[in-house]
Amino acid sequence: MYQAFLLRYAEIGIKGKNRYKFENALCEQIRYRLDKIEGNFLVVREQGRIYVEAQDEFDFEEAIDAMRHVFGVSSISPVEVIEDKSWENLKQKVGDFVEHQYPKRDFTFKVKAKRSDKHYIYTSPEICAELGGVLLERFPELSVDVHDPQALLWVEVRDKAYVYSKVYAGACGMPLGTNGKAMLLLSGGIDSPVAGYMIAKRGVYIEAVYFHAPPYTSERAKQKVVELAEIVSGYAGKIRLHVVDFTEIQMYIYEVCPHEELTIIMRRYMMRIAEILAGQNDCLGLITGESIGQVASQTMHSLAATDDACTMPVYRPLIGFDKQEIVELSEKIGTFETSIQPYEDCCTIFVAKHPVTHPRVDVIRNSEKKLAEKMDEMMKKALDTVEVIEVAK
């Protein structure tokens, strides 16, 4: 029965003079998501809110789901639009709304009214009181509880009148396109897709890079990363995934460097390549799924040694999260089931039994000198043979 939705946003409200830019970006993102589903929707901005009006048939669940994937939207209410807001009609329509929405009417309620039309015959408190009375008369099973009602019935009188009672949580954050672009190091694990989601949530478009090591990592492992990128793109918009063939570099490090330093040196080359790709694609930073102390390569010492290899800012949104918190987020955004599929990512094969947990940057740099002979050539080859896969869910 709903033909319209009211979308609220939070942080954009405090953006002062630039606010319209954020609102425009938000409307654009809402249109982008709704374009992907059946139906024809009009997205309009009005006094600190956004209304979406359906122009023809659509699937309710699908529409709510699409809007819940838009960063910047804090909540969504399906609303009934009452074109003729005259008091007689309003009373009737609000009653009809309750009748349709609540087949069982044995609950407590409270009417909340807002009016931006200051010429309306009643003030907001009067609308609440009057409509409360009208509803009690029409549905004697209902009762009013102004302190802790089971249902809150919102009535807004603007140029038209609106009635609604349900509120769905939105994704929150900032609209995509309001904050530049960053390069996500995306592996097949649990953490990095969540990290990408978190940064995209702040309005940042993302690109991704995956270091593939065939035949040590299978085609299926790569497919899993593509799937993860796809799920993240359900929120983050189009993602270009750069697949780098890392085998040769990895083998070379394995041959030449001390095995306990393998992971850290590999990670440093990943950062270097990611940084070059980031630069080529207008990205302003790198994103990883690291969290302090999670594994040997993520101690404070290891992170410092990793950072030493690149100059771009490295964003690590999960830095203070426990594994369990990351798992919960990955379940929420829908990447968990894919992440736990048992296909090796390239790091699991080349892990040393006793990796260094307190690497010294000077020692690592020294080990890397042994790679001087062939590394430049290998890096160039890896960059020249990058495969780009575009995903957009």
- Can you give the binding site for ligand ATP, defined by CB under 6 A? 185-187, 189-192, 209-211, 270, 288-290, 294-295, 297-298, 345-347
Site for Mg ion in 175-214 (CB under 5 A): 187, 189
302 touches Mg ion (CB under 5 A): no
Beta-bridged to residue 240, according to DSSP, are 390
Question: For residues 73 and 270, which CB has a smaller minimum distance to ligand ATP in the complex?
Answer: 270
The least CB distance from residue 117 to ligand ATP, in Å, is 52
C-beta closer to ligand ATP: residue 76 or 264: 264
Residue nearest to ligand ATP (CB): 189
Q: Which does 290 bind (CB under 5 to 8 A by kind): ligand ATP, Mg ion, none?
A: ligand ATP
For 29, the token pair is 């993102």
Minimum Å distance from CB 70 to ligand ATP? Answer: 25
Would you say 252 and 158 are in contact if contact means Cβ atoms under 8 Å apart? no
Residue 201 has, within 13 A of its CA and on its CB side, a CA count of 15
As measured in angstroms, the least distance from the Cβ of 176 to ligand ATP is: 20
Residue 178 or 291: the one with the smaller Cβ distance to Mg ion is 291
Nearer to ligand ATP, 130 or 344 (CB): 344
Pick what 198 binds: Mg ion, ligand ATP, none; C-beta below 5 to 8 Å, kind-dependent: none
Helix (H) or strand (E) holding 303, with range, is: helix 300-307
Cβ distance to ligand ATP smaller for residue 171 or 292? 292
In the bound state with Mg ion, the residue whose beta carbon lies nearer, of 47 and 324, is 324
Closer residue to ligand ATP in complex, CB, 186/206: 186
* Binding at 257: pick from ligand ATP, Mg ion, none (beta carbon under 5-8 Å per type): none
The tokens 């829908």 sit on which residue? Answer: 334
Please, which residue, 163 or 209, has the CB nearer to ligand ATP? 209
The residues that bridge with 208 in the sheet, in sequence order, are 184, 241
Strands 151-157 and 108-115: parallel
Nearer to ligand ATP (CB atom), residue 25 or residue 356: 356
The closest alpha carbon to 55, from 66, 44, 69, belongs to: 44
* Residue 211: contacted member of Mg ion, ligand ATP, none (CB under 5 to 8 Å, by partner type): ligand ATP
Tell the smallest beta-carbon distance from residue 97 to ligand ATP (Å): 47
CA dihedral 314, 318, 321, 325 (to 10 degrees): -170
Contact by Cβ (8 Å): 217, 350: no
Select the binding partner of residue 234 from Mg ion, ligand ATP, none (C-beta < 5 to 8 A, by kind). none
Minimum CB separation of residue 348 from Mg ion in Å reads 7
CB of 174 to ligand ATP, least distance (A): 22
Shortest separation between residue 347's beta carbon and Mg ion, angstroms: 6
- Total residues contacting Mg ion by CB under 5 A comes to 2
Instruction: Let me know if 52 is exposed, middle or buried by CB neighbors in 10 A (0-12, 13-18, 19+).
Output: buried
In whole angstroms, what separates CA 243 from the centre of its chain? 22
Listed residue (239, 269, 241, 232) closest to 347, CA to CA: 269
State the binding partner of 127 from Mg ion, ligand ATP, none, CB within 5 to 8 A by kind: none
The answer to whether the bond into 355 is cis (omega within 30° of 0) is no
Please state the closest distance from residue 134 (CB atom) to ligand ATP, in A: 56
The CB-of-263 to ligand ATP minimum distance in angstroms stands at: 7
Residues whose CB falls within 8 Å of the CB of residue 47, separated by 6 or more in sequence, listed in order:
116, 158
* DSSP per residue, 102-168: -SS--SEEEEEEEES-TTSSS-HHHHHHHHHHHHHHH-TT-EE-SSS-SEEEEEEESSSEEEE---E
The three-class DSSP label of residue 46 is strand
Residues that bind Mg ion (CB under 5 A): 187, 189
